[in-house]
Structure 1
Amino acid sequence: MSVVVYLAAAVLALSATVLFRRPRAAVRNPLTVSTCVAILLGAVVFACSAPMTLSAVNSLTGVPNFGAPLTYGMLTAYSCSLLILLINWRGGPPGRVRRLVLRSIAVYGPLVVAVVVLFALADAHTERLTDLDTYYANTPYMREMIVLYLLGHTAVIVATSVVCVRWGREVTGLLRTGLRLILVGALLDLAGFQLTKYTAIVARWSGHDLDFLSTTVAPPMASLAALICSAGFVLPRLLPAAGAHWRGLRDHRRLVPLWSRVGFVSTAPKPPASWWQLPEERLHWREVAIHDALLALAPYFDDTVRERARAAALREGRGAHEARVAAEAAMLAEAARRAAAQEEPQETPSTYRLHATEVSGAGGLVELAQALGRTPVSDKAREGTVKAFHG
């Protein structure tokens, strides 16, 4: 069981690390901070609840079952962090958000203290690594401690479920998907973890033995529920950024035919090389460098070449826009050839503006790059480009 619990803890910790990848920006965002704190506390709870960890903690402290108040205190703090995360996620006036956060801390802070005090008062000298809840279900103070941490966690999960249902009716898209995942995780926690715990404890109170519900069923259900909840909190924040990075990487690669033709005349300063540079940042620099190269090649633009290529494209049955881009690619290819051969610019500079320079974003440049990729490159242009890149 320890392996499964440690795996869940590792996945949760990795999720928090991804969210907190830019510490300076993250610490200024209460939502990011509360999300990372909640996920990290969840990871700590799982790590602490593993039998191997419990045994190590008990041995280090010399107190039998010391891992119990540690785990339950962390679980109570995790419950509080979930509540604070929901408050920050839902948002609202800053004053109201601050008051709700302080109220949550005011309720769950004493609850953590109560868990520790009740354990200190209890007689729990027999170490139990997997069945402590049921073994001590009838022991004074331990009984109250167990019920108290369960009730505190139940209150948060019920509140989370209610918020998800109500808020889910008001939103759409990824946020609604995230809320549904959180709701699924919360219901799984209620049914798979808490209900089984309550059932096993009540069975002990009535003289029956249903310990397997607490020792075998509850732990994996808690791990799965926490992972699903964390996915609900994280995915709506990560997927848009991941999509933007993917589009940046895709467009950066699609600009290769254009950059390989015109890059040798660009004078844009290169950014410091770094393996962690985001695709969007690399794409932005390539756009700037290409625009700089297009400006440098403008004196070589030949309107005659462009008009001839445009007429040929129209005769082939291409649409007006496609013919325009193909003609611009032909004109640019000729301009790059002449620049690479160090020929003189046009006597009368063209005033024509490329479509790619009239639209924002990388879309126009990508169109030009794809058209240029279908335009043959002369040996002179290839030789000049290679020399420029390696000179």
Structure 2
Amino acid sequence: MSLVVYLAAAVFGSVGVVLFRSRPRTPVRNPLTVSTCVAIVLGSLALVCAAPLTLAAVNDLTGVANFGAPLTYGMLSAYSCSLLILLINWRGGSAERIRRLVLRAVAAYAVLIVAIVVLFTLADADVERLSDLDTYYANTPFMREMIVLYLLGHSAATLAICAVCVKWGREVTGLLRTGLRLILIGCLLDVVGFQFTKYVAVVARWTGHDLDVLSTGVAPPMAALGALIWSAGFVVPRLLPAVLVHWHSLEDHRRLGELWSRVRFASIAPKPPSVWWQPPRARLRWREVSIHDALLALAPYFDDRVRERALEAARREGRSAHEARVAAEAAMVADAARRAADREAPQATASTYRLHATEGCGTGGLLELAQAITGSARVDAVPGSTVRATSG
């Protein structure tokens, strides 16, 4: 069980690191970023403290049986407080209002943590229990109150998060709604799988029944699973857009491959060192710049007659005006690349025609030209000797 909890804590904590580093331009003191990361780190620490191996080590280190209990419950209460602070910053408002609400939350949970420590000090809990302390001491004076207090404090925070997620989930769309739903699912797993099972097991002890398996076998893994899903709710809206950008960049980089293979010999753009390990967006940008440089170098070889013949042929095939234009430009570029590669003389009269792919910013025009070069039968007929190097 300890290994599973440690693994969940490691994944949970790493999410906080990823979120913190994913916004390098965000000020370090940004309240929402800081409160999110603090909540995730405290949640991972609470999981670590709850592991039986950690409890045994803490008890041995301090020489106090069950000293790990108030440490774990105090850490869980601090985590609950961080959830409320995150909620306060999430809602926003005036700086004074946020400050006032944060101080109230800190004060309330500070009192709760002190009460947990005091109740443990007053209780008679000399028998070490590493996994079933809640149920074993459910009827013990002061320990009973301590157990109920930490559960109520955690329930208050998670139920507040659930209520806000339900409300905001109706008002937002897209990835933010997906993130809110994941947060809601994670919190509900905590409420039902961890808190409710703990309540049931403790109350069962009060009534003379034994449902300890709910507290020892069901609650810990459900708490870990809920924490992971909850953290994913913050990761998805922040990181998924960047992941999709890199994914599309990889796809666009691949789609430009055929065009690049035909014209790269003409490019004199300096190649950055170790281009293979650079982010996909940077690799795509370098390929775009290099292709534009190659097209500029091939401009003296552009033959308007080749373009016009290809344009007429595309129109006879029933293509739209834009499709016909791109197909004609692809034929002209392929012809220019062939003659430049064969070291033929440039056109006697330089063409003043401007390619659609070079008229504006972005990758769209180059992708259309690359697709036309890849799919056109006339372009496919260009001898393979035009390619002077491997793709990069």
Q: Same fold (TM over 0.5)?
A: yes
Report 1:342-353 matches (<5 A). 342-353=343-354
Q: Report deviation, 1:251.
A: 0.6
CA separation of 1:302 and 1:112: change in aligned 2, threshold 3 A: farther
Q: Report deviation, 1:36.
A: 2.9
Q: Report deviation, 1:222.
A: 1.6
Bigger shift: residues 97-106 or 195-204: 97-106
Q: Report deviation, 1:44.
A: 2.3
2:5: which partner in 1? 5
1:185: which partner in 2? 186
Structure 2: any 5+ residue segments left out of the alignment?
A: none
Paired with 1:98 and 1:372, the residues of 2 have a C-alpha distance of: 61
1:300: which partner in 2? 301
Q: State the SS of the aligned residue for 1:386.
A: coil
**2:137, 2:144 within 8 Å by CA — same for their partners in 1?**
yes
CA separation of 1:271 and 1:42: change in aligned 2, threshold 3 A: farther
2:143: which partner in 1? 142
CA separation of 1:196 and 1:22: change in aligned 2, threshold 3 A: closer
**1:180, 1:232 within 8 Å by CA — same for their partners in 2?**
yes
Paired with 1:255 and 1:351, the residues of 2 have a C-alpha distance of: 25
1:163: which partner in 2? 164
2:126: which partner in 1? 125
CA separation of 1:113 and 1:359: change in aligned 2, threshold 3 A: farther
Kindly indicate whether residue 383 of structure 2 is the aligned counterpart of residue 386 of structure 1: no
Paired with 1:31 and 1:353, the residues of 2 have a C-alpha distance of: 49
Q: Report deviation, 1:96.
A: 4.0
**2:357, 2:365 within 8 Å by CA — same for their partners in 1?**
yes
Bigger shift: residues 216-225 or 112-121: 112-121
Report 1:122-271 matches (<5 A). 122-271=123-272
2:54: which partner in 1? 53
Paired with 1:246 and 1:213, the residues of 2 have a C-alpha distance of: 43
Q: Report deviation, 1:95.
A: 4.8
**2:182, 2:232 within 8 Å by CA — same for their partners in 1?**
yes
Report 1:81-120 matches (<5 A). 81-120=82-121
CA separation of 1:378 and 1:275: change in aligned 2, threshold 3 A: closer
Normalization by structure 2: what TM-score? 0.88
**1:249, 1:279 within 8 Å by CA — same for their partners in 2?**
yes
CA separation of 1:275 and 1:53: change in aligned 2, threshold 3 A: farther
Paired with 2:208 and 2:280, the residues of 1 have a C-alpha distance of: 62
What letter matches 1:273 in structure 2? S
CA separation of 1:181 and 1:40: change in aligned 2, threshold 3 A: same
CA separation of 1:27 and 1:79: change in aligned 2, threshold 3 A: farther
**1:79, 1:156 within 8 Å by CA — same for their partners in 2?**
yes
Q: Report deviation, 1:26.
A: 5.5
Structure 1: any 5+ residue segments left out of the alignment?
A: none
**2:264, 2:389 within 8 Å by CA — same for their partners in 1?**
no
2:322: which partner in 1? 321
CA separation of 1:259 and 1:93: change in aligned 2, threshold 3 A: farther
Q: Report deviation, 1:14.
A: 3.9
Q: Report deviation, 1:34.
A: 2.9
Kindly indicate whether residue 355 of structure 2 is the aligned counterpart of residue 354 of structure 1: yes
Q: Sequence identity, in percent?
A: 71
Paired with 1:174 and 1:250, the residues of 2 have a C-alpha distance of: 22
2:79: which partner in 1? 78
Deviations 1:325-355 (A, max 9, x none): 1111111112222332333332322222211
CA separation of 1:100 and 1:252: change in aligned 2, threshold 3 A: farther
Paired with 2:317 and 2:340, the residues of 1 have a C-alpha distance of: 29
Deviations 1:106-153 (A, max 9, x none): 333443344334334433221101111122223333333222221111
CA separation of 1:360 and 1:181: change in aligned 2, threshold 3 A: same
Normalization by structure 1: what TM-score? 0.89
Q: State the SS of the aligned residue for 2:141.
A: coil
